[in-house]
Amino acid sequence: MTEAEIETKTHRVVVVNGPNLGRLGVREPEVYGYQDLTQLKKDCLLWGQELGLSVEVRQTDDEGQMVSWMHQAVDRKTAVVINPAAFTHYSYSLADAAAQVSKSGMPLIEVHISNPASRETFRKHSVISPIATATITGMGFYGYRLALEAVAHFSEEIDKD
């Protein structure tokens, strides 16, 4: 790939948000903040544009839907930023599907608005972290920006190969 092709190539990334994140702004704002999912979507689209990424933001409370989105990402060679929310701690089906993203060579960045390690004991374990390219926690919505920056960085590295 030539340098010009690298500069003009747009990388796709899907930002996948799990259960209860549709309630951002009203659910435990002392933990997750007062901004809602609509604002998060706007922020991610803007940040993606700044980074030269084509971003799509999704949210579901359904574990099976998240698994299907991981399969789509593999099939479409799309990077993933994932906030698995409660599925972080126990969804082996999601972990298996997310592992396919990593194994396909696409970046998989796990992000959490809060810092699960500083919260209740059951939140300290992630079945996603071991297969993620990177994990960003405790940075609020800004963590999504950092995750998109990581996708841009890793995508550039992939292009060089």
Around 117, how many Cα atoms within 13 Å sit in the side-chain half-sphere?
7
The response to whether 96 counts as a known ligand-binding position is yes
- Selecting among 11, 90, 92, 112, the annotated active-site residue is 112
- Selecting among 11, 32, 71, 144, the annotated active-site residue is 32
Q: Strand, coil or helix: what is 161?
A: coil
Map tokens 């991610």 to a residue: 44
Q: How far apart are the C-alpha atoms of 31 and 142, rounded to whole Å?
A: 14
112 annotated active-site: yes
Token couple for 109: 């960045």
153 annotated active-site: no
The response to whether 114 counts as a known ligand-binding position is yes
The response to whether 123 counts as a known ligand-binding position is yes
The response to whether 20 counts as a known ligand-binding position is no
Q: Would you please indicate which residues are annotated as catalytic (active-site) residues?
A: 32, 112
Annotated binding site: 83, 89, 96, 113-114, 123
Annotated binding site for substrate: 83, 89, 96, 113-114, 123
